[in-house]
Structure 1
Amino acid sequence: MQQVLPDITKTGSLITSYDVYLFRQGSHSRLHDRLGSHPAVADGARGTFFAVWAPNAAEVSVIGDFNGWAAGRHPLRARGDDSGIWEGFIPDIGHGMLYKYHIKSRYDRYSVEKGDPFAYFWEVPPKTASVIWDISYTWRDRAWMRCREEDNTPDAPLSVYEMHPGSWRKVPEEENRFLNYRELATELAEYLLDTGFTHAEFLPVMEHPLYASWGYQSLGYFAPTSRYGTPQDFMHLVEHLHQRGIGVFLDWVPSHFPSDGYGLSYFDGTHLYEHALPGQRYHPEWKSYIFNLARDEVRSFLLSSAIFWLERYHADGLRVDAVSSMLYLDYARSPGEWIPNVYGGRENLEAIGFLRKLNDVVHANFPDVLVIAEEATSWPGVTAPTATGGLGFDLKWNMGWMHDTLDYFTFDPVFRKYRPDLLTFSIWYAFRERYILPLSHDEVVHEKSSLAGKMPGDEWRKRANLRLLYGYMFTHPGKKLLFMGGEFGQWSEWSHETGLEWDLLQYPPHQGILRWVADLNRLYRREPALHERDADPAGFEWVDFSDVEKSIVSYLRRGLSAEDVVLVVCNCTPVPRYGYRVGVPFGGFWKEVLNSDAVEYGGSGVGNLGGVEAERVLVHGRPWSLPLTLPPFGAVIFAPEGA
């Protein structure tokens, strides 16, 4: 079917006065339909309509492979409404052609060639031109989209596989190239089905100049990176995962952007997208520019980007990067290097307002998606509704749990008894927000070692500790996130230049770790007690956290139904314990549903022969108890038989 193009013969524009009003109010959430390059018809001629925001430009023209990259041949006109938008129609050019904007500023005789901030596609880096691209697509994931709310609710099991598309798998026979989006679709879907994860989360796929930034220095806020294929190829990847019952989260960066000359920085000879004040413009840690969220048009730009990925690419949620850096004016700055707000405080009032607006707009348009905050401080109400003064996110990364847990497991077991708080303190605040427990890419780079490499002892002990860590993680309140490679115990820390150490899976111990993670995922999804009450204190109950000498903790997880109960016991030393009594709420046979020390997981096979009958012996203030065998570095999980 031939595409029906908008006819702009009468108006000469796709932009209405209402669009301009919303744009200047900071409320336009679909600018991508108006600004940028769009195929259109005028006076019977097919071509492309262009529109760009450059309020301080004296002249703007479109340059490209269709006019020899010559400035002035295809000038745009400024709208007469003080919007700062330049627009125009160019006949006989269209899909696949390269272009940029040539901008002459009103100031300092400044002129520059800029890529399109709203481009749907870009040349493969290090080339820098935007590409006119028709992103129409016939989606075939209706069944998923109609029912996905069931998988995105606070009481649903959520187990996220975080991954970097370029380094997940390599093709050694073809100069170690990475997979394209379509190759990735087939292989990733099968892998996630086998391992039991519910969602994939991609490190930012938005176009970025530097591959080594992993996408966190984004410039193409409306374009998937062309390194792995076309926009339609990426749509196919999302669609295929949906067809296999797997959700897709996208990492999104509204906090900062790189200073590359063809991008957003100093766009029209002024600091347009970034702050003009030096104390707020430059991010000292990431050497990048900070979005000026006090500017209405910039807020419209970012709101539109968020909606774009949810609408056009059917993303099931956004993980918002570096929220802490947005909330605090003094983030990564020394005294005297930051400017207080109007009340003299360090809170970034404009960013707070933007984040609330973002969550309100997203949830109004897509009530069945999740917006997840990477926020590392004790900022109150990150996941509270905006109507009650919160920021309105659905989930928050639990960075405190992550740091404490990794610190604990890094200790030699001899010393763990001196810091039991690292394992238990997280419960004190576990229900203040709706959390996701992240073991992310940030923990396995920059000489931090891999997760397996962090564990103490020889190879056997490292793998046993890793299985214990995962057992504790998957039974702790909160949704789950694990970065690629961790699921099979990769030894090397992650590098974006190389693929994962898939060759390790020829060895039974690493096959065992992968099987353990897959079985944990399936138990987590199957047992309501492990996910229904993640944000409810009634969903967790300590049995005993006082046995610090033996470094053993035990707890119950509870679901909404009284019979949905799971007992977890973690032995954090290499010493097996026999006849170790743990109190339980009622009698009967308690089935050992998972044991991290089972032989099939690479363990020593110490366990409870399938389960234990409760005895009427008072322990831990409970009338019934189980005489258990606790394996070394073992997590054992029990459920009442028949539950």
Structure 2
Amino acid sequence: MSFDVTTFPQQLSHDAYRYFGAHLVEGGVVFRVYAPSAAKVSLAGAFNGWNYYQDWMHRINDAGVYELFVAGIGEWTVYKFGIFDHQGAYVEKSDPYGFYHELAPGYASKVVDINRYQFNDDAWMTQRTTNMDKPMHIYEVHLGSWVHDGIDTYESLAYKLVDYLQFMQYTHVELMPITEHPFLGSWGYQVTGFFAVTERYGSLDQFKKFVDVLHQHGYGVILDIVPVHFVKDAHGLRQFDGSALYENVDESEWGTLYFDYSRVANQTFFLSSVAYWIEMCHIDGLRMDAVSHLIYYQGNRDHGVNEPGIHFLKTMNACLKANYPTVMLIAEDSSDYGKVTHPVAEGGLGFDYKWDLGWMNDTLRYYMLDPVYKKDHHHAITFSMAYFYSERFLMPLSHDEVVHGKKTIVDKMWGDYDQKFALAKNLYMYMLTHPGKKLNFMGNELAHFREWDEEKPLDWFLLDYSRHDAFRRYMRDLNHVYTHHDALYEKDYTLDGFKWIEVDNSDLSIFSYYRAGTTSTIIVVLNMTPNAYETYDVGVPEAGVYRELINSEKAIYEGCDMTNYTTLSSSTEPLHQLDYRIRTRIAPFGSMMFIKES
């Protein structure tokens, strides 16, 4: 699938970025662009006084590829294409394959050396996997609003993030889109530069340094990318050569334009963009936004199956897996379309993971309920395991859940101030012990009460308050337990990794289950009401002495301190279809894990 201009655009390629765009060569720069419907194409920049009638590009084939070598210019040269119609009028366009662009309101492209940076992450790259049997708790970050001191760059943020990831014991970071976008309020999802890192936080080399630093410290980097649509800005892909070269006729729900993936050239464009981030920037995973819009027209099942979109997903994912087998492909898909995480060869779409948005919605609705009514919604907790093994699901509490009047995670919880914190701790115990990999948006760990604002940093001052500081300590300790016990991650996607203990006690709204790994088995108990129990028996699969591994109501987490502070010896009385039982204490809204001592 390597690019060959003689077979373009009919032949799919994953590395067209090596040909198109602006490339430094001996003595100058060579520029190439695809504009089949243009009458003429020119190149303009400071090097010719922005004269669109001086440097005409050469149409080198019938397909509509244009090329021009300009001598005596080099890196950081600023340029635009002039796309002329048959009446002699022209529009100024950014380079679709441009590797760096001016920040809005500017839109010129810039020549950069994409090959200069030398990574020092061989140790990471050689042992990288898709983490099926490893812990993965992803910290989702918007770089512009995580912290802010006015001088943050990719490089400086890398070191700050490494320190924080180490402290909190997350395993990966997922960056909200960092491809160039004109409008900050789009959060990066309305893209103009699919091959360009945004200038907001520094240069391409600084971004590569960001990835390199995280890799050297043992952290994976996942990019949020947008395969479905692009902005309508006149300098972008819209009507690029005077025709609908990149777009189809339908406008999206976001007021943007859908890619037309019935064209092989557009498949090559986006596939090459993805491969660029993997190959040139050492990205470890790609979270693909709004996949349901590639499965169904406009994301609506009633509008029918989007055959070109599905074909493209399968083609892209098969190519990526063939060339980059250890890179994670993650679908943000709100549909119930089947086999999203099954291999393409088996009729699937070829993703490694799919966000479980059903789990997220059911779970948050349940935790918002008055406990009096929880018994009538018991299935909101039990239902996820009825379908869980149909895909490889990832459990997300993302940026989408803390904006637009939805309230933040802690503020969604039922009850008064104290009860909200107790329930939020319970929720995270449930999340971290449920099968599947995890994702949390920045600020969730602080018990943030203000909804996220892309123009403001997180409210780090909350840590001056003991309740918030204790909550973050709880999240850190929970992450430590998660990453250090194989029961909680090794068998996420095999049937022997999870078993309900007590699943049908809707009257008391108590749930228990166990997770099993090669070296550990962990018992989980969740109390969803404010009722306390001095004695509550729980079935266990093995005889022995059990100790409490973590309890959300410990005093150090500003809980009521109703815990199991002594070890618990099992008795031989069967319970919950298990041969043994232990007698526990359960706090109001308490959640706890137990492990058998060796």
* Structure-1-length-normalised TM-score: 0.91
Kindly report which structure 2 residues correspond to 1:122-161, keeping only aligned pairs within 5 A, or say none: 122-135=101-114, 136-149=116-129, 152-161=130-139
Deviation at 1:526, TM superposition (A): 1.3
Give yes or no for the alignment of 1:626 onto 2:594. Answer: no
Give yes or no for the alignment of 1:557 onto 2:515. Answer: yes
Kindly report which structure 2 residues correspond to 1:193-212, keeping only aligned pairs within 5 A, or say none: 193-212=166-185
Aligned-partner Cα distance in 1 for 2:74–2:81: 16
Kindly report which structure 2 residues correspond to 1:244-393, keeping only aligned pairs within 5 A, or say none: 244-275=217-248, 278=249, 281-283=250-252, 285-331=253-299, 346-393=304-351
Name the residue aligned to 2:419: 461
Contact 2:2 2:13 (8 Å CA) reproduced: no
Aligned-partner Cα distance in 1 for 2:154–2:238: 29
Aligned-partner Cα distance in 2 for 1:40–1:517: 51
Contact 2:3 2:13 (8 Å CA) reproduced: no
Listed one character per residue, the Cα deviations across residues 64-104 of structure 1 (whole Å, up to 9, x for unaligned) are 11111111211101013x22110010111111111000010
Deviation at 1:376, TM superposition (A): 1.1
Name the residue aligned to 1:6: none
Deviation at 1:525, TM superposition (A): 1.4
Kindly report which structure 2 residues correspond to 1:366-515, keeping only aligned pairs within 5 A, or say none: 366-515=324-473
110 and 327 in structure 1: CA distance in 2 versus 1, 3 angstrom threshold: farther
Listed one character per residue, the Cα deviations across residues 180-214 of structure 1 (whole Å, up to 9, x for unaligned) are 21221111110011101100000000000101101
Contact 1:326 1:348 (8 Å CA) reproduced: yes
Contact 1:20 1:83 (8 Å CA) reproduced: no
Structure 1 residue aligned with 2:65, among 80, 85, 97?
A: 85
Q: Secondary structure at the match of 2:5?
A: helix
Contact 2:103 2:182 (8 Å CA) reproduced: no
Q: Secondary structure at the match of 1:541?
A: strand
Deviation at 1:577, TM superposition (A): 1.1
Aligned-partner Cα distance in 1 for 2:441–2:40: 47
Kindly report which structure 2 residues correspond to 1:86-105, keeping only aligned pairs within 5 A, or say none: 86-105=66-85
Deviation at 1:124, TM superposition (A): 1.9
30 and 527 in structure 1: CA distance in 2 versus 1, 3 angstrom threshold: same
Gaps of 5+ in 1: 1-15, 172-176, 339-345
2:597 maps to a residue whose letter is E
Structure 1 residue aligned with 2:12, among 6, 9, 27?
A: 27
1:159 maps to a residue whose letter is H
Deviation at 1:475, TM superposition (A): 0.3
Listed one character per residue, the Cα deviations across residues 423-444 of structure 1 (whole Å, up to 9, x for unaligned) are 1100001111001000000000
Deviation at 1:26, TM superposition (A): 4.6
624 and 22 in structure 1: CA distance in 2 versus 1, 3 angstrom threshold: farther
Name the residue aligned to 1:48: 29
592 and 18 in structure 1: CA distance in 2 versus 1, 3 angstrom threshold: closer
Aligned-partner Cα distance in 1 for 2:395–2:578: 30
Give yes or no for the alignment of 1:115 onto 2:94. Answer: yes
Listed one character per residue, the Cα deviations across residues 526-565 of structure 1 (whole Å, up to 9, x for unaligned) are 1111111111122111101111111100001112x3x521
Q: Secondary structure at the match of 1:25?
A: coil
Give yes or no for the alignment of 1:162 onto 2:140. Answer: yes
90 and 204 in structure 1: CA distance in 2 versus 1, 3 angstrom threshold: same
Aligned-partner Cα distance in 2 for 1:601–1:17: 55
619 and 144 in structure 1: CA distance in 2 versus 1, 3 angstrom threshold: same
2:145 maps to a residue whose letter is S
Listed one character per residue, the Cα deviations across residues 107-138 of structure 1 (whole Å, up to 9, x for unaligned) are x6552000001111111222111011112201
2:144 maps to a residue whose letter is G
Aligned-partner Cα distance in 2 for 1:51–1:453: 52
Deviation at 1:18, TM superposition (A): 6.2
Aligned-partner Cα distance in 2 for 1:55–1:601: 63
Structure 2 residue aligned with 1:566, among 494, 498, 522?
A: 522
Deviation at 1:610, TM superposition (A): 4.3
Deviation at 1:524, TM superposition (A): 1.3
Q: Secondary structure at the match of 1:63?
A: strand
Deviation at 1:623, TM superposition (A): 2.2
Aligned-partner Cα distance in 2 for 1:113–1:309: 26
Aligned-partner Cα distance in 1 for 2:360–2:566: 32
Identity, % of aligned pairs?
Answer: 41
Name the residue aligned to 1:537: 495
Q: Secondary structure at the match of 1:254?
A: coil
1:266 maps to a residue whose letter is Q
1:422 maps to a residue whose letter is A
Name the residue aligned to 1:608: 564
2:49 maps to a residue whose letter is G
Aligned-partner Cα distance in 2 for 1:613–1:69: 81
Contact 1:206 1:221 (8 Å CA) reproduced: yes
415 and 535 in structure 1: CA distance in 2 versus 1, 3 angstrom threshold: same
Aligned-partner Cα distance in 2 for 1:64–1:193: 45
Name the residue aligned to 1:583: 539
1:161 maps to a residue whose letter is Y
Gaps of 5+ in 2: none
Aligned-partner Cα distance in 2 for 1:365–1:347: 28
2:135 maps to a residue whose letter is P
Aligned-partner Cα distance in 1 for 2:7–2:416: 61
427 and 18 in structure 1: CA distance in 2 versus 1, 3 angstrom threshold: closer
Deviation at 1:587, TM superposition (A): 1.3
Listed one character per residue, the Cα deviations across residues 581-617 of structure 1 (whole Å, up to 9, x for unaligned) are 1111121111110111111112111111043111122
Aligned-partner Cα distance in 2 for 1:544–1:110: 73
21 and 254 in structure 1: CA distance in 2 versus 1, 3 angstrom threshold: farther
Aligned-partner Cα distance in 1 for 2:298–2:200: 36
Contact 1:169 1:178 (8 Å CA) reproduced: no
* Structure-2-length-normalised TM-score: 0.98
Name the residue aligned to 1:13: none
Structure 1 residue aligned with 2:505, among 547, 551, 559?
A: 547
Contact 2:341 2:352 (8 Å CA) reproduced: yes
Aligned-partner Cα distance in 1 for 2:529–2:409: 18
Aligned-partner Cα distance in 2 for 1:208–1:383: 30
Give yes or no for the alignment of 1:519 onto 2:519. Answer: no
Higher mean C-alpha deviation, range 298-307 or range 522-531: 522-531
2:38 maps to a residue whose letter is A
Kindly report which structure 2 residues correspond to 1:177-188, keeping only aligned pairs within 5 A, or say none: 177=150, 179-188=152-161
Contact 1:140 1:239 (8 Å CA) reproduced: yes
Contact 2:40 2:84 (8 Å CA) reproduced: yes
Contact 1:23 1:300 (8 Å CA) reproduced: no
1:192 maps to a residue whose letter is L
Q: Secondary structure at the match of 1:546?
A: coil
Give yes or no for the alignment of 1:64 onto 2:45. Answer: yes
Q: Secondary structure at the match of 2:329?
A: strand
Deviation at 1:22, TM superposition (A): 5.0
Aligned-partner Cα distance in 1 for 2:157–2:460: 15
How many pairs were matched up?
597
Contact 1:582 1:628 (8 Å CA) reproduced: yes
Aligned-partner Cα distance in 1 for 2:395–2:364: 12
Aligned-partner Cα distance in 2 for 1:293–1:217: 18
